[in-house]
Amino acid sequence: MAFMINGYSQEDESNQTRDMFAESDTNDKTRVEIGNDFIVVEDNEDEVEVKVGNKGIRILETLEGPGVKFKSFDSYHENEQDPDYDQDCDQDYDQDQDYDFDDDNDRKSRRARHFKGHWTGVELGFNNYVTSEKDLVLPAEIDYMTLHSGKSINFNVNFSQLSLGITRHIGFVTVLGLNWNNYKFDGNNNIFKGANGIIEELIPTGDLEKSKLATIYLTLPFMLELQLPVNNGHLNIAGGPIGAVKVASHNKMVFETGQKLKSGGDYSLNILRYGATARAGYNNFQLYATYYATPLFRTGKGPAGYDLYPFEIGVAFTFND
């Protein structure tokens, strides 16, 4: 390369001046060109492409670990796309900042900065609770707490996120979301906060069409996410602890006559709760599950003194791309 450049430069002195320049094209590549397309070097962070005349070579970083993968030196076509080329290798960079592309630590740092987790978006699923023995069937004395599983809907809005990359495909995801839970009772009843704050059964004077306890929590997860490149997308798996703080709660009854009764209150619900959340999916579609190790009601204040542990399961649609 040095020999050819030197010879080419000498030839230019007797003819015309050839300039060497660097720029970022529409694909955010670093491009260095010598002469009239005679020698071109393009760097995409995970790929370096060198073109000399109508011949070219690509040097690809492997996904399996350190090292490089060479594409054979062959005829170069400007519009040809290497089948081994990963679109995700294209990275944004600051043209005004000097990068040392031979510095492995700098490369890892830039890749980590481009990690994008899967949290911002909406989630829709079902919620329920289990006893301390992890049983969905409740004791007979609190049978009134049994839920209509198919109508106890959970809805979440995750309106922001912070992605902390370790590598381009591994990192932590955190920041806030809002969590709505609708616990729809299966029987003709609701609940109220009785003496000493203990939850008791509320029996209405008429037949109910709907009856539920609703809660709203502000959530804060801290998940470790792993992304596995597959074809033109990614399989993503994430999990970690999650905390929540109660924002509001109320119960609601709709009678068959059309009459509606809604009553706000704290219902001895735990203000703070913590648990674990996990999700897995492809690109921007995931399945999620969350279990809280904190009882729904404060200890000793649950129905008949029982602790009930809430959980959620559903689908998520994220907007990280």
Q: Using 50, 70 and 90 to split pLDDT, how confident is the model at 262?
A: very high
SS3 content of the chain, % helix, strand, coil (to 5): 15, 50, 40
Which of 35-39, 145-149, 218-222, 293-297 has the least mean pLDDT? 35-39
| Residue in 56, 31, 58 with CA at minimum distance from that of residue 47 | 58
CB 243 within 8 A of CB 219: yes
Q: Which two tokens stand for residue 31?
A: 């491009």
**Tell me: the pLDDT tens digits for 269-292?**
999 999 999 999 999 999 999 999
Q: What are phi and psi of 14, to 5 degrees?
A: -90, -10
β 272-282/208-230 pair status: unpaired
CB 119 within 8 A of CB 177: yes
Q: Using 50, 70 and 90 to split pLDDT, how confident is the model at 101?
A: very low
Which residues make beta-bridge pairs with 136? Answer: none
Helical residues (DSSP H) of 99-151, grouped into ranges: 104-113
Place of tokens 């609770």: 129
Residue spans of the domains in the chain: they are 2-113, 121-318
Mean pLDDT value of segment 290-304: 96
Q: Which two tokens stand for residue 286?
A: 């995931």
Which residues make beta-bridge pairs with 75? Answer: 55
Q: Using 50, 70 and 90 to split pLDDT, how confident is the model at 89?
A: very low
User: Is residue 217 pLDDT above 80, yes or no?
Assistant: yes
Q: Is the pLDDT higher at 98 or at 124?
A: 124
Q: What is the DSSP letter of 12?
A: H
